A = this chain, B = another copy of it.
Amino acid sequence: MKEININQLRDEIDSLDSQLVQLLAKRSKVTRQVGLYKTIKGVPVYVPARENELLAKRKKQAEALGVSPELVEDLLRRIMRESYQSQHKHYHCSNNDINKIVIFGGNGALGKAFVNMFRISGYTVEVVEKDDWDRVESVVVDADLVIISVPINVTSAVIESLPKLPDHCILADLTSIKDEPLTAMMEKHSGPVVGLHPMFGPDGSFVKQVVVVCDGRGSEHYKWLLDQITIWGCITYNSAPQEHDSAMQMIQIMRHFSTFVYGRNLQLENPDLDKLMAFSSPIYRLELAMVGRLFAQNAQLYTDIIFSSKQAIELLKHYINTYEDAVKMLESDDKEGFKKAFDEVSDWFGDYAVSFQKESKSLLLKANDQRSL
C-alpha cells in the first residue's frame, strides 16, 4: 500500500471546509433576496411544501452520490433555520389600515419580542407600562389592537382596570393560561376579543412555533392578526380555553413542578455535581441539562406560573400516589406488577413511544456532537 500523507489529507479537508463556508456565504446572500421577496408579497416565512421539496431533492442526490441522506437533511434543516432567522429585517404588513397597536407590558421579555415583530412589519406600536397608567386613556383612544402581556398574576386585574376601548378595537392577551383572562376580556370589552398563547420563550425565532388561539368574539375582525402571525412563520392552533388550560396543566405545570422537585431533591442530596457530569452519558447529561436550565430562569416568574395553577394541586397529589405505588412495588419485590405497569404505559404511548425514541436519538447524538474534552 502506498504511504498515506496525513498532512496532505488534512489540507484537503481544510480546503473543502473552506469551500463549505464560502458556499454558506453565497447562499445567505440569495436567501436574503428571497426574504425581501416574501416581505413584498406577504408570503409566510415558513412554507412547508417548499422545504419538503428542497429536502427531498437533495436527499435523492445524496443517495446517488453515496452520501448519507440523514446527514444532508440535518445540515439543510440547520442551514434553513439560519436563513429563516436572518433573511428578514422586515415583514409584510397584513393590514395597512391599522392605525395603532398598544401593548401593555411591552417592555417585558415576551412583550418586547412582539413589539419588535409588529414594528418591523410596518405597524405603529405604543407600549404601556405600570408607570404610564395616568395617560392610559389617551393612549388607547385611537388603538385598533390592544395586547395584554403582563405577569400572569396581575393579568386579570390589568384587564379589569382598562379604560373603555374603541368599539372596533381588538382586545387580546398573551398569557399562558387562557380561561380566566379570556373571561375577563369578554366582560370588559364588547368588541373583538381573542386569547393567544405563544408556546415559546421570548429568546428564539418565531418560525415554526405554535401559537394557541382561543376565540372570544369577532374572528372576522381579528383575522388579519392571525395572518400576520402566520407571516412571521408561526403555526396557529385553535382551542377552547378550558381545553387549553387542562392540557397546559398536564404538560406545563406537571412538568415544571416535577423538574423543580427533581432539582430541589438533588440539591438536598448534594452529590458532587462535577463528578456526576464526568460520569454522564449523553442522555443523562441532557436530562440533567433539562433540569438545571430551569434554575437559570427568573425565580419570581417561575413561582408566579406555578402558583397561578392551584387547580393543579390535585394532579400533583395523584403524581405522589403513583410514585408511592411504584416504590411499594420495589419494596415488596413485585417485579411482575412493575413490568405489567410498564407494558400498560407502553401501550398507552402506542406509536409515539417509538417515534419519540427516534426523535430523541437524533437529539442525543447532537448532544454528543457538542462534547469536547
Contacts and interface: CB of A to CB of B under 8 A. Distances in A.
Contacts of A248: 279
Majority secondary structure of chain A interface residues (helix, strand, loop or mixed): helix
Contact of A58 (B21, B51, B348): B21
A291 to B, nearest CB: 8
Interface string A69-110: 001101111111110001000000000000000000000000
A19 B23 contact: yes
A212 interface: yes
A261 B322 contact: yes
Contacts of A273: 348-350, 352
Instruction: Please state the number of chain copies in the assembly.
Output: 2
Interface in A1-51: 4, 6, 9-10, 12-14, 16-28, 30-31, 33-34, 36-37, 40, 48, 50-51
B72 A25 contact: no
B290 A313 contact: no
A369 interface: yes
Contacts of A162: none
A209 interface: yes
Interface string A252-291: 1011011011111111111111011111111010111111
B346 A299 contact: yes
Interface string A299-342: 11011001100100101111110111011001101010011011
Given A13-B54, A17-B54, A299-B343, A348 B270 contact: yes
Most chain B beta carbons < 10 A, residue from A26, A57, A302: A26
Contacts of A200: 281-282
Nearest to A352: B292
Contact of A330 (B72, B313, B339): B313
Contacts of A280: 199, 210, 251
Contact of A353 (B50, B276, B292, B322): B292
Nearest to A239: B279
A133 interface: no
A373 to B, nearest CB: 4
Interface stretch (A119-127, A163-171, A183-191, A358-366): A358-366
Interface in A231-262: 235, 237, 239, 243-244, 246-248, 250-252, 254-255, 257-258, 260-262
